[in-house]
Amino acid sequence: MKKNKSIIFVLFVICLVILSACKGSTPPTISVDEVDKVKIVVKDGSGQDKHWEAEDQNFLKTLIGNVNLLFVKKDENAQNFSMKLTPNQSQFNYQIVFYKKDKIVYNIEISNGNKVVINKEEYLIKENKESELNSLKNHLLSVVQ
């Protein structure tokens, strides 16, 4: 009897380990209702930081649309910023911090080319979304200039 209970317990633990390993991390879809302010920081290769803040709802909608477009097929609020990035600009570190009532809701970091970290969860942007990533980087560069 004890042996059967031990076997069942071990099988249960193995199932839990397998299920937790299979759990894929899906990126969040950000809604304009969740945020009321954004801070943007772009750090260039020499370590210089450029900052910008906004509370304008139209700007927030567009920026959120461009972020969401990295992970979904379509976002009606996204806007294409299709200027060509220089090799240096594509390697800059970009940070977007969304706030709601002065509390951080989303902290998004873009670095190492196609790596995006949202609230400490890491995502790699696939090649088929590279133009959307470059568009987002161009959008950020255009506002911090």
Is 36-144 a CATH 3.30.1490 domain? yes
CB atoms within 10 A of CB 125: 18
The whole-number average pLDDT for the span 29-53 is: 92
The answer to whether the Cα torsion of 99, 120, 133, 47 is positive or negative is positive
Question: Which residues lie closer than 8 Å to 109 by C-beta, 6 or more apart?
Answer: 93, 94, 95, 116, 117
Count the alpha carbons within 13 Å of 122 in the hemisphere toward its beta carbon. 5
The whole-number average pLDDT for the span 108-126 is: 90
Residue 115 has pLDDT above 60, yes or no: yes
Residue 5 has pLDDT above 80, yes or no: no
CB 93 within 8 A of CB 107: no
Domain boundaries, the chain: 36-144
Q: What is the pTM assigned to this prediction? A: 0.80
